[in-house]
Chain A
Amino acid sequence: SQTIHQWPATLVQPVGSPLSLECTVEGTSNPNLYWYRQAAGRGLQLLFYSVGIGQISSEVPQNLSASRPQDRQFILSSKKLLLSDSGFYLCAWSQSGKTQYFGPGTRLLVL
């Protein structure tokens, strides 16, 4: 069966520091991969999605970037965090035409 992992689970970072969040999927190949951000009590904001290695689509221009160095690995990065980057970051995967499944999430607090 398929499994999606995210780490770290929680992270506290100072403003201006870099960020790297990792997501990996097991048990499937060539998945579509997604990064979402959820502010406290809010909806899901799509940040990036990828249909293959090295193929990244950005939905919201900001100080975040994403990379997909391997088929089942998706990384979310920032060179300098802002206070507004705080939130719950969710990675998700799907196979074309099928359901999207979410990872356990990373809770990021920027101070």
Chain B
Amino acid sequence: GENVEQHPSTLSVQEGDSAVIKCTYSDSASNYFPWYKQELGKRPQLIIDIRSNVGEKKDQRIAVTLNKTAKHFSLHITETQPEDSAVYFCAASISGNQFYFGTGTSLTVIP
């Protein structure tokens, strides 16, 4: 089955700096890649996603890039703010049926 690896497991950045989280996947059939943000004690919330026919997608300060050849995708957060502090999960899916999650990255934005 699919195997998703996520790095780093923890990340601390100064407010205003950028944060990058990277994921790799193993199954070339995966074609949908969502990113979730989970605040302490809350449910994971979708923040951005990308499909395999697109190389990059942006939504304000958040962007995701996908390299299908290398089988990796990344989350980029620019101009980080304290409220960006949370655990971020990447996932890979084949046609949106079964989802395989990374192990999570705990992001801390230092004011």
Contact = CB atoms under 8 A, between A and B. Distances in A.
Interface of A: 32, 34, 42-44, 46, 49, 51, 90, 94-105
B18 interface: no
Interface residues of B, number: 22
B3 interface: no
B96 A96 contact: yes
A104 B42 CA distance: 7
Contacts of A105: 42-43
B103 interface: yes
A44 B44 CA distance: 10
Contact of B43 (A46, A96, A97, A102): A102
B95 A96 contact: yes
8 contacts: A43-B102, A44-B89, A90-B43, A94-B99, A97-B32, A97-B95, A102-B45, A105-B43
A92 B52 CA distance: 23
In the A-B complex, the 9 residue pairs with the smallest Cβ-Cβ separation, listed nearest first, are A97-B96, A102-B43, A43-B103, A44-B101, A43-B104, A98-B96, A102-B44, A97-B95, A100-B99
B3 to A, nearest CB: 13
Contact of B96 (A46, A94, A102): A94
Nearest to A45: B101
A100 B43 contact: no
B46 interface: yes
A104 B41 CA distance: 9
